[in-house]
Chain A
Amino acid sequence: MADGNDGQRFDRLPATEAERTVDGRATREAVVDYFADRFGIPPATFDDYTFWEKGAGKIWIYRGEAPTPLEIEAIGMTCLRTRQEHWKPTTDVVQRFGDHATECVIDLDREQARRFAAGEDQMLEWWDGDWGYLIAAHEIAGEAEAIGVGLYVHGELRSMVPKGRQRDLEP
Chain B
Amino acid sequence: MEPLERYRPIIDDFDAFLAACERPLGNAVRVNTIKASVERTLAALNEAGVDYDQADWNPRVLTLEIDSPGSTWTSFHGFTHGQEEVSAVPPVVLEPQPGDRVWDCCAAPGGKATQIAALMDDRGTVVANDNNLGRISALRFNAERLGATGLAVTNADARNYSLERFDFDAFDRTLVDAPCSCEGTIRKNPDALDNWSEGHISSVAGIQKGIIRRAIQATREGGTVVYSTCTFAPEENEAVVQHALDNEPCRVVDFDLELEHAPGLTAWDGETFDERLERAARIYPHQNDTGGFFVAKLEVTA
Contact = CB atoms under 8 A, between A and B. Distances in A.
Interface of A: 48-49, 61-67, 70-78, 90, 92, 95-96, 117, 140-143, 145, 147, 164-165, 167-170
Interface residues of B, number: 42
Nearest to A141: B43
B144 A75 contact: no
9 contacts: A63-B149, A64-B126, A67-B166, A77-B143, A90-B144, A141-B43, A147-B76, A167-B75, A169-B71
Contacts of A141: 40-41, 43-44, 46-47
Interface string B10-46: 0000000000000000000000001100001101101
Contact of B76 (A75, A77, A167): A167
Nearest to A146: B77
A49 B144 CA distance: 15
Interface of B: 34-35, 40-41, 43-44, 46-48, 70-73, 75-78, 101, 122-126, 136, 140-141, 143-145, 147-155, 165-168
A130 to B, nearest CB: 25
Given A95-B147, A169-B73, 10 more contacts: A64-B151, A66-B167, A75-B151, A92-B145, A96-B35, A96-B149, A140-B44, A140-B77, A141-B47, A142-B43
A165 B101 CA distance: 30
A75 B48 contact: no
A92 B35 CA distance: 11
A77 B147 contact: yes
Given A76-B150, A167-B70, A169-B71, A92 B144 contact: yes
A66 B152 contact: yes
B110 to A, nearest CB: 11
A29 to B, nearest CB: 20
B125 A64 contact: yes
A169 B77 contact: no
A70 B43 contact: no
Contacts of B168: 65
Nearest to B168: A65
A64 B147 contact: no
A55 B148 CA distance: 21
Contacts of A168: 71
A65 B125 contact: yes
Contacts of A64: 124-126, 149-152
B213 to A, nearest CB: 23
Given A65-B167, A170-B48, A96 B143 contact: no
Contacts of A77: 143-144, 147-149
A62 B122 CA distance: 10
A76 B149 contact: yes
A92 B145 CA distance: 6
B216 to A, nearest CB: 21
Given A96-B35, A169-B71, A72 B167 contact: no
Given A48-B123, A165-B145, A62 B40 contact: no
Contacts of A164: 141
Nearest to A73: B153
User: Which residue of B72, B149, B155 has the most chain A CB atoms within 10 A of its CB atom?
Assistant: B149
Given A48-B123, A65-B125, A96-B149, A72 B154 contact: yes
Nearest to A113: B73
Contacts of A143: 40
B147 A92 contact: yes
B67 to A, nearest CB: 12
B136 to A, nearest CB: 6
A83 to B, nearest CB: 21
A164 B144 CA distance: 12
A142 B36 CA distance: 13
Contact of A74 (B44, B70, B147, B151): B151
Among A66, A141, A142, max chain B CB count under 10 A is at A141
Contacts of A63: 122-123, 149-150
A72 B48 contact: no
Contact of B149 (A49, A72, A170): A49
A167 B148 CA distance: 21
A165 B46 CA distance: 23
